[in-house]
A and B are shown apart, each in its own frame.
Chain A
């Protein structure tokens, strides 16, 4: 055991966060990602015993399945099994169990899995699909959420009333409405009748796709006793374990999910989408790994999509520019199954005032079943779609009463103590500062000349807020295990999707423990058998929730170390600290390296035995204070854990000859409480802004009669290296979160929430035209200019 005696005094910093929190250290995963060594799910090797799966899918948006004849497929050499809904009768779903793994009696969207094949090669499996003959009775589809709520609408889930559902989701049995969330605050009708200005707009926001560059892939293996191992590209290893085990009627302890690096998720790899298919197929070919990987085309129409939204806003203010009322109706296109999407409906409802203090609010947020692809979580969880319209209305209202839209937002934005739409009191927030700084960063109030005579420039701003939308008691846990040389391995169940969570967790662990950052290793890949529980990597909740668990685990390890050394040195733990990997006594000046003692303990004097033992720190965190909301009014004590707020401002230039909108510059300002790694926060803001620009200008899943007409990169365009604006400013605002680690709260999703309306408002500033719903394609903008008489 190495013990170094020194007299170096302990450096003491009371105010600053301990290093390396607040420093832009290099990402932990960067090196292996630039060398090609980083392992993603499709890179795992399973040897020649592995089978390949392909899925037979419904070509109809809505149909009864009369008969499935797989005999020809089964006769094809190389085919090992064909699986249909008969083998998986159970229901699956996160908030509402409304989905079978394979369709049983009916198919509800084009792409709905009807049967699965496992064969010795992917080609044979694919060929077998043509040999499965399915007889359908085509049923009338529901293709618009406003049609879906009509009393005479075709019922897509007649069994809705019998589905198992979380207690904060309110399905309406006998309808196509799997959730209806209502807000009733104040007297909206009275406020509207007294208003100085009222605006009303409807927005039809289209479906978009997440488009991670890595497609979904899952490999499942079931042993002879029915124990399951699932390897996959997953944001939610633990939720998948739970949901799939429940659907199959096996113990969660008998389902192991192994989740290597995720090549981009943005929500589409949360919950369960295609993974259960691989497991269900593997059940029939025990002992053999079965790999299912989706084609890029399948990515576009068979996995979660960002729901479409039809939103009606009526908004009013008084003559001084104080918002007085909002009357909102949202119809979410939940798609064929709403197991996850129902909570977007709720999130949009409890945030339906936008980040504003509004005394009178009435909101009806309907989730509606349609025969469209399945709506699921996507970066922003409903807020980009909802706030796209809301923030355009705010702009319009400000202009209507002759106020600068920035000043109007500044005046009305929520402040600490504001009474929110749910009755919850707002915590301290930096939104005002975010609005001002974002506006200032793009030279708000100055109009620069366009770059050519046939172009026009405009500036726009939008504010935002978003709370982690999740189960109220979503938990996190972590452990820290010390190695002989004093370095440590940090166990966690949250997933590295590219957002840098492994890095910031290592920073928090190092800072709390008192060791250098590069002494921390992450126990990866996440494996539900060995990793500690984490609800899901969603909702921008990891820095806050898992961070709290990591800090608790590090504190636990630190306490054990200090108690051990204190005992050995006959001092009190309170006089000791761990600095840069050494235990130091402020009282005696003694110092000792962590080497050895964290595993072997310490010898008593005179070879009289030992004290201590291997150090294992553990920590967990779960919010316990979120309360239910009244189903009729949406009122309650505390709807959410907290809100992250912020704003974006952009300058655009519109080409009057083509309608093309180019974003010249954008500024993002968000209040994440504390930036654990400022540059990782900056790149989240940049990446989110460009993803936001991409959805604002290009992206739209073109659905016609339930069929996605552009399921490829050829016709579903996303922003490329040519489309990103050079001038992107990221502004960090830090108003601490009372229960966040080092004051931090999440910021991953937020940076694409205000982008669409900021661009829409800038287009309005340039042209005087309200562009409405995205995408603001060159065609849409040009034809709007023609219709407005601006060009011919």
Chain B
């Protein structure tokens, strides 16, 4: 099987990675770059635990080939906090007890950040719709919805988080 040398910007740093054709972006992040904050829950684009930003839009990284990311810009949960300052959505998730086991949380945070980036003042229906691809078995979701709503109220401090 062919390998490909790709160049990809991950969390602001340019990485040169050698990837086989069938390696997913998820596997590259976790196993080539050691960025284990992004989780593998189903490998089928159903659970959302692997959600990351690809060129500014949230994707299931288990359904993207690493080789497709040559020249792309990827952001993971590890990029949300900057200089010890949490992104407002991270703080809001803590404040609302919207995290339990924490396995879905990285993907939830990316989906939520992406929503707030494109719609700074979402309705509850819009939040539910934006998070429907992030399965959570612990919280019952309402705390997550509230956390997103409150983070929208706070807004994003300049220079923190997101895909801008």
Contact = CB atoms under 8 A, between A and B. Distances in A.
Complex A–B touching at CB under 8 A:
yes
Given A296-B42, A498-B100, A34 B141 contact: no
A295 interface: yes
Interface string B47-84: 10100000000000000000000000000111011000
B36 to A, nearest CB: 4
A724 to B, nearest CB: 4
B81 A35 contact: yes
Contacts of B42: 215, 296, 712-713
Contacts of B144: 721
Contacts of B81: 35
Interface in B94-122: 94-95, 97, 99-106, 109
B134 interface: yes
A262 interface: yes
A33 B137 contact: no
B16 interface: no
A215 B141 CA distance: 20
A265 B100 CA distance: 11
A712 B46 contact: yes
B135 A37 contact: no
A683 B36 contact: no
Given A264-B103, A683-B100, A498 B138 contact: yes
Given A714-B44, A722-B128, A683 B143 contact: yes
Given A264-B138, A686-B140, A726-B142, A34 B39 contact: no
A213 B109 CA distance: 15
A626 interface: no
Nearest to B100: A498
Interface in A257-281: 261-266
B145 A721 contact: yes
Contacts of B41: 213-215, 296
B46 A214 contact: no
Nearest to A123: B22
A264 B94 contact: no
B163 interface: no
A36 B113 CA distance: 15
Contacts of B37: 35-37
A265 B109 CA distance: 21
A662 to B, nearest CB: 13
A264 B101 contact: yes
A266 B99 CA distance: 16
A135 to B, nearest CB: 31
A26 interface: yes
B128 A211 contact: no
Contacts of B127: 721
Nearest to A211: B137
B86 interface: yes
B93 to A, nearest CB: 5
Contact of B139 (A35, A265, A683, A723): A683
Given A39-B36, A713-B44, A726-B124, A33 B105 contact: yes
Contacts of A713: 42, 44, 46-47, 135
A261 B104 CA distance: 13
A261 B103 CA distance: 9
Most chain A CB neighbours (cut-off 10 Å) among B47, B101, B129: B101
B135 A34 contact: no
Given A34-B93, A679-B97, A721-B145, A728 B136 contact: no
A213 B129 contact: no
A30 interface: yes
B90 interface: yes
A721 B144 CA distance: 9
A537 to B, nearest CB: 12
A148 B156 CA distance: 61
Contacts of B36: 36, 39-40, 42-43
A35 B103 contact: no
A211 B136 CA distance: 9
Interface stretch (A562-570, A576-584, A687-695): A687-695
B129 A728 contact: no
A213 B128 CA distance: 19
Contacts of B80: 34-35
A26 B92 CA distance: 12
B38 A213 contact: no
A378 B109 CA distance: 28
B53 to A, nearest CB: 13
Contacts of B135: 211, 213, 713, 718, 720
Interface in A703-737: 712-714, 718-726, 728
Given A27-B94, A34-B93, A43-B36, A214 B103 contact: yes
B7 interface: no
Interface in A608-652: none
Interface string A462-500: 000000000000000000000000000000000001111
Contact of B94 (A30, A37, A680): A30
B160 interface: no
A29 interface: yes
B43 interface: yes
Interface in A12-47: 24, 26-27, 29-31, 33-40, 42-43, 45
B90 A690 contact: no
Contacts of A680: 97
B12 interface: no
Contact of B140 (A27, A31, A683): A683
B28 interface: no
A411 to B, nearest CB: 31
Given A34-B94, A722-B128, A722-B132, A214 B140 contact: no
A212 interface: yes
A36 B78 contact: yes
Most chain B CB neighbours (cut-off 10 Å) among A34, A499, A712: A34
B40 interface: yes
Contacts of B137: 210-213, 264, 266, 687, 691, 718
A320 B93 CA distance: 51
A721 B49 contact: no
Interface string B138-158: 111111110000000000000
B25 interface: no
B15 to A, nearest CB: 17
Interface of A: 24, 26-27, 29-31, 33-40, 42-43, 45, 210-215, 261-266, 295-296, 497-500, 679-680, 682-683, 686-691, 712-714, 718-726, 728
Q: Which 6 A/B pairs are nearest by Cβ-Cβ distance?
A: A36-B37, A263-B103, A498-B101, A33-B102, A498-B100, A690-B140
22 contacts: A30-B93, A34-B90, A34-B105, A35-B81, A35-B90, A40-B36, A43-B36, A210-B137, A211-B137, A213-B39, A213-B136, A214-B39, A263-B39, A296-B44, A683-B97, A686-B140, A687-B140, A688-B140, A691-B137, A713-B44, A721-B145, A722-B128
